[in-house]
Every structure is written in C-alpha cells, then in structure tokens.
Amino acid sequence: MLEIKIDKAQVERITQLLSPSELGRAIRNAINTTATTVKNTAVDRAEGIYNIARARLIKTPAGSPAIYVKRATQSEQQATITFKGGAGAKAGDRPGLQNYATNKPPRKRTKGWKPSYKIRRAGTSIVVERGFYGEGKLKGQGIFERREGSKNIVRRTGPGIKQIVERREVMDVVKREGKEIFKSKIVEAVRKQLEKRK
C-alpha cells in the first residue's frame, strides 16, 4: 500500500499564493494526479522486472481491478494505492503461470513436451516436469502439475500481485519518483488555480 499526502512545509510555501478554498482544491488535485501517475509507474516498473502481462497485472481474471486508488477529497487530503492480495506469498491474487513468459503447447500432442515458464525477466526458464496445459472445467485455463506418486493435480501459480508490485526494487523507484512527480503536480495545480482567477 502506498500513501500520497502533502507535508506541512509544502502547505506553508503555497499558502501565501492561494485562498483556503483554492489551496484545498490545488492540494487535492495534485495528490490525485500524483496517485494515478505513481500507480502507473509501479505497474511499469513491475512489468520491467517480471514477465507478467500488463493486463493481468492491473486486473483479476474476472476483470475487477487488482490495484485500487482511493482518491483524496477536500476533507481527507490523502490518496491511498492498494495492491490486491494478502501479506503472504500464498495469499490473495496469484496469477497462473500462463500469464508469464511460457512456452506455448504444440497444436498436436508431442511426446516428451513439457511446459516451462520464466517469471522474472532476468531469471531462468523453469520446466514443469509433470506439467501440462489445462482448459475448461479443470479450475480454468493454465499450467497444471500432477504431484509425484499421486493422482492429485495442482494449478501452478506465480507470486501474488501484491508481492510483485511491493518488492523493494519496484517500491524504491516508485517512492523516489513519486516525490518528484508530486513536486511538479503541486506546481501545476497551483498554477491552474491562479489562472482561474483571470
């Protein structure tokens, strides 16, 4: 989860230029536009590290958002970006391996063919030894694996959306760039409020 808010020193610097209502609107607008830009920056950065399709990174298989932005209001001048999923790697929204860079199954069954996947762009391809592509009633579409010495079949998944986007290598860049984005957005929001006076 990320929070976008303004600090007191920034408010004091721009208070002299605007009336209280203009100031409130400028801060709210700057926070909201920053939150949207920061969300997109997080997705871009995560997509650059992982082989996951962007469409799956931002939406669940059912089509609902995987990343939520609670926008700032006049009374609550803080925006919150929440990434779907739980605290642990096995909790929440976990994309199936077919959403990552995978080898596609041949049109005709080929003896000895096994699915493989590569989650991180800098990582190596991993073969699913007892794996196969499944569709339809078998828990949806994806890569499945028969457990060794068992009839049990499990659907193979990668890390959760929350774990992907909240990794340090993503968040460090997002937080650093977020501060710069907010500085430019607050200047732009103040300028717009001053232009409305004309």
Residue boundaries of the structural domains of the chain: 2-89+160-195, 97-155
User: What is the distance between the alpha carbons of residues 150 and 146, in angstroms, rounded to a whole number?
Assistant: 7
CA–CA gap between residue 174 and residue 68 (Å, rounded): 16
Tell me what the pLDDT averaged over the chain comes to.
84
**pTM exceeds 0.75 for this model:** yes
Query: 78-132 pLDDT, tens per residue?
Result: 999 988 776 555 566 788 898 898 888 888 878 889 999 999 999 899 999 998 8
Backbone φ, ψ for residue 160 (5° rounding): -70, 155
Dihedral sign (CA 14, 17, 20, 24): negative
pLDDT band at 50 (very low <50, low <70, confident <90, very high): very high
pLDDT value at 1 more than 60 = yes
